[in-house]
Amino acid sequence: MSLAIIGGTGALDLFDVLEHRRVESPYGAASATLARIDLDNGGAWFLARHGRPHRIPPHRINYRANIDALHRLGVAQIVAINAVGSMDPDHAAGALVVPDQLIDYTWGRRHTFSDDDITPLQHVEFAQPFSESLRRALLESATAVGQSCVDGGCMAVTQGPRLETAAEIRRLGRDGCNLVGMTAMPEAALAREAGMDYASLCVVANAAAGLEDEPISEAAIHRVLADAMQNVRQVLHALHT
């Protein structure tokens, strides 16, 4: 089975689970037991990024163990589901976006396999952080099921778990970002080091800080995501890689 989906804990409830499997990794414990799920186009592995129940903040996720566990299961392609804020007024809450670039603003995360005696030092090429073929497959799947999906965008990956200040969002916009999330790095880079294709299917949960008159409500974010995840489910069921 070559496909895996990494998403929030609630995303697993979208799929029928066929089995659970725990995989040992020299990098420690993965966020959760891996679940084999049933898709219309075949099976895939699912990993709950924040654990089950949802408890691990973005900066404390063991990204290395997660990617290594999937690699040990023979996964070659990873679709990451990321909830994001948007700096683009054309992105309504609930919109789906398949970004093509990112900027990493995180710190202190174990961001490479090449910092111990387990893996030899490697300098991976990362100019295009997302697999173009997997991006195309996601966009084609969205079209096939009648879902609107934005092609391209630059995601700022921030430390979290707090949301950003309005001034930080203005800075990210000046840097060229139009999306902001907390979990794509070092996930994407580790997948590249492991030789796995990686693409992100972003769900716009809210307008980024300072872009609307009202404060960002966590309850409102959860409502948007609950509705949008049904659209994500359709796209993933139609995915052909």
Residue 138's pLDDT is what?
Answer: 97
What pLDDT does 241 receive?
Answer: 66
**CA dihedral sign of residues 174, 128, 99, 202:** negative
The 10 Å Cβ neighbour count of residue 127 is: 5
Query: Which pLDDT does position 117 carry in this prediction?
Result: 75
Calculate mean pLDDT across residues 200-222.
74
pLDDT at 215: 65
Whole-model pTM: value is 0.93
Q: How far apart are CA 44 and CA 42, in angstroms?
A: 7
Q: What is the pLDDT of residue 42?
A: 79
pLDDT of residue 212: 66
- What is the rounded CA–CA span in Å between residue 235 and residue 162? 29
Cα-based angle 211, 215, 220 (whole degrees, multiple of 5):
100
Q: What would the pLDDT profile of 99-148 be if each residue is shown by its tens digit?
A: 999 999 999 999 999 987 777 888 999 999 999 999 999 999 999 999 99
Would you state the torsion angle of the CA atoms of residues 215, 56, 181, 48, taken in this order, to the nearest 10 degrees? -120
- pLDDT band of residue 43 (cuts 50, 70, 90) is confident
pLDDT digits (tens, 9 = 90+) for 8-42: 756 777 888 899 999 989 999 999 999 999 888 77
Cβ–Cβ under 8 Å, residues 23 and 12: no
Q: Residue 76 pLDDT > 80, yes or no?
A: yes
- Whether residue 210 is predicted with pLDDT greater than 70 in this model: the reply is no
- C-alpha distance across the termini of the chain, in Å: 12
Q: What is the pLDDT of residue 116?
A: 77
Q: Which domains does the chain have, with CATH numbers?
A: 3-237 (3.40.50.1580)
